[in-house]
Amino acid sequence: ASKKGGKNRFSFFAPSMEESIRQRLQLEKMLQQAVMNREFFLHYQPRVDTASGRIIGLEALLRWTPDGHPPISPDQFVPILEETGGIEEIGEWILETVCRTARAWQQMGLPSVRVWVNISGKQFQDKYLFEKIEKILAVTGLSPRYLGLELTESVLMQDVEVHIAKLKQLKQLGVMISLDDFGTGYSSLSYLKRFPIDEIKIDRSFVNGLLTDENDTAIVRTILAMAQSLGLRVVAEGVETPGQRDFLTEQHCDEMQGYLFSKPVPPNRLSTC
């Protein structure tokens, strides 16, 4: 708030806030370009079956490295794509790319694994999502049983009845449904029972504190016991240490995912695994 310095007549914001608004606007502009120019690509992170140690699934994760910038995290840019509407276009591109890639792997004779796609709120609210997925599967030739969708609690908690109907439709088609980041949202147990989901994914933040934080350890134990009694599979994300892996194995967690097994990698790195 200085009178000097020419154009800077008066500022309502602290400089840091002004700076962050400027950065946000710049990011929005860059993203608009990125959507138009299809600057995005996908990495895939293995999901490991606890019992056999084999890779039985792959999660597709969106990547963006704008020209002359370091990579920007999807945690940062996906919410902006949601707000500005870009997610609809990119979301469809992601689904189609993942299904086409998975089908190509199968045709190369690689073992068939299920591919998992993260679906954002706006995308799930799309009235035509089911039709779009059905069409993408038909066009790419991927069987629905090799596709899984990862949804977060906050997404499902809005419009519960509509979403239950949509999930049922997808399940009937043969697509698997996962409840991502479990424990960070606010889903009640009664909803959990009503949603036709196949599995829950324990959020990384709890797995991170396994064995070092008593509360996190108790939470993971409880989630596993609850899911098992509801007949749901459980996946742990963010497994980084052998200690965490051993604990989850003892507790009969069905699947694991994390840097201990592999970071997300480009698709060409997977076909040579």
Q: Residue 92 or residue 181: which is nearer to Mg ion going by CB?
A: 181
Residue span 39-78 as binding mask against ligand C2E, x where in contact by CB under 6 A, dash where not: ------x--------------xxx----------xxx--x
CB 241 within 8 A of CB 260: yes
Q: Which is nearer to Mg ion, 79 or 141 (CB)?
A: 79
The yes or no reply on residue 155 touching ligand C2E (CB under 6 A) is no
Cα four-point dihedral sign 70, 75, 81, 84: negative
C-alpha to C-alpha distance for 31 and 86, rounded to whole angstroms = 8
Q: Give the whole-angstrom CA distance, residue 178 versus residue 196.
A: 10
Structure tokens at 159: 């419009």
Q: How far is the CB of 142 from ligand C2E (least distance, A)?
A: 17
> Does the protein bind ligand C2E through residue 197 (CB under 6 A)?
no
Between 119 and 129, CB nearer to ligand C2E? 119
**Where are the strands (E) in 119-249, listed by range?**
147-152, 176-182, 199-202, 233-236
Class of residue 255 by CB neighbours under 10 A (exposed 0-12, middle 13-18, buried 19+): buried
Q: How far is the CB of 59 from ligand C2E (least distance, A)?
A: 7
Cβ–Cβ under 8 Å, residues 148 and 178: yes
Judged by CB, which is closer to ligand C2E: 42, or 232?
A: 42
State which residue, 180 or 216, has the beta carbon closest to Mg ion: 180
- CB within 8 A of 21, min separation 6: which ones? 13
The contact pattern for ligand C2E, residues 215-254, with x = CB under 6 A and - = no contact, is ----------------------xxxx--------------
Binding interface with ligand C2E (CB under 6 A): 45, 60-62, 73-75, 78, 94, 118-120, 150, 180-181, 204, 237-240, 257-259, 264
